[in-house]
Homo-oligomer: A and B are copies of this chain.
Amino acid sequence: MITKEIQLRVRYKETDAMGVVHHSNFTTYYETARTEMLRGFGTTYRILEESGVMLPVRDVVMRFFTPARYDDLLTVRITLREMPSVRMIFDHEIYNEKGELVNTGTVVLVFMNAASRKACRVPDWFADLFRPYF
């Protein structure tokens, strides 16, 4: 199991007429956390795509607790619970500056050959980066 925390600042654009962050933005917060988690492993999602492998999203599950507001500094705690295989599963918890739980979410992504657009297994070089942690 690997866990990482990133912080991000809520943009005005991300709020809606209820005065809080619109729920559609949380998938983007997760995505930002994934990007930074991969960078922490010495690669990037961009490098993965340039190698001919994509990671489209297959499932998203989200629950909302306390609303987030403009200019809140949110902490996204992202967790990878299992070795990448044909898929990667990321869990997320988002907290505000008071330590209140704002949101939880899980995202399942599947490895896909960019040329054929068919599902594939995790590339070896990519899996090797994660092996020491599992």
Residues of A within 8 A of B (CB): 9, 11-13, 15-20, 22-25, 27-28, 31-32, 35, 44-46, 49, 54, 56-64, 67, 69-71
Give the contacting residue for A35; candidates B12, B15, B22, B56; CB below 8 A. Answer: B12
Which chain B residues border A22 with CB–CB below 8 Å? 12-13
Interface centre among A9, A15, A22, A63 (most CB of B within 10 A): A22
Task: Count identical subunits in the complex.
Answer: 4
Show 21 A/B contacts (Cβ-Cβ < 8 Å), sorted by A. A9-B32, A11-B35, A12-B22, A12-B35, A13-B16, A13-B27, A15-B17, A16-B16, A17-B17, A17-B49, A17-B69, A20-B56, A23-B27, A24-B25, A35-B71, A45-B71, A46-B70, A59-B61, A60-B61, A61-B61, A61-B62
A59-B64 contact, Cβ under 8 Å, with A12-B22, A71-B46: yes
A56-B67 contact, Cβ under 8 Å, with A13-B24, A31-B13: yes
